Amino acid sequence: MKSKTYYEMYDLLTQSMSLNHKMIDKIEELRAENAVLYKQIEECRDTLRTLISKDFESSNDNKRLFSFC
């Protein structure tokens, strides 16, 4: 009886360790995806800042051109 319980517990422990390793692998995969997404977000922010800056400069140029009106 004791040996069966021991083997059952050992089997559960093995399954638990396997699941833990799978979760760790998934976490690492998600971290890598997160890093890619974060980089894309930063690139979008930079692009938006550039566009807003150019739009602001263009708006100021137009104000100067038509300031006589």
Q: DSSP character for 45?
A: H
Per-residue pLDDT of the chain (69 residues; tens, 9 = 90+): 567 799 999 999 999 999 999 999 999 999 999 999 999 999 999 999 999 888 777 776 666 655 555
- Show Cβ contacts of residue 50 under 8 Å, excluding neighbours closer than 6 positions: none
CA distance to 1, 6, 18, 56, per residue, from 51 (Å): 74, 67, 50, 8
Structural tokens at position 22: 């799978």
Which pLDDT does position 34 carry in this prediction? 98
pLDDT for 28: 98
Q: For the whole model, what pTM was predicted?
A: 0.59
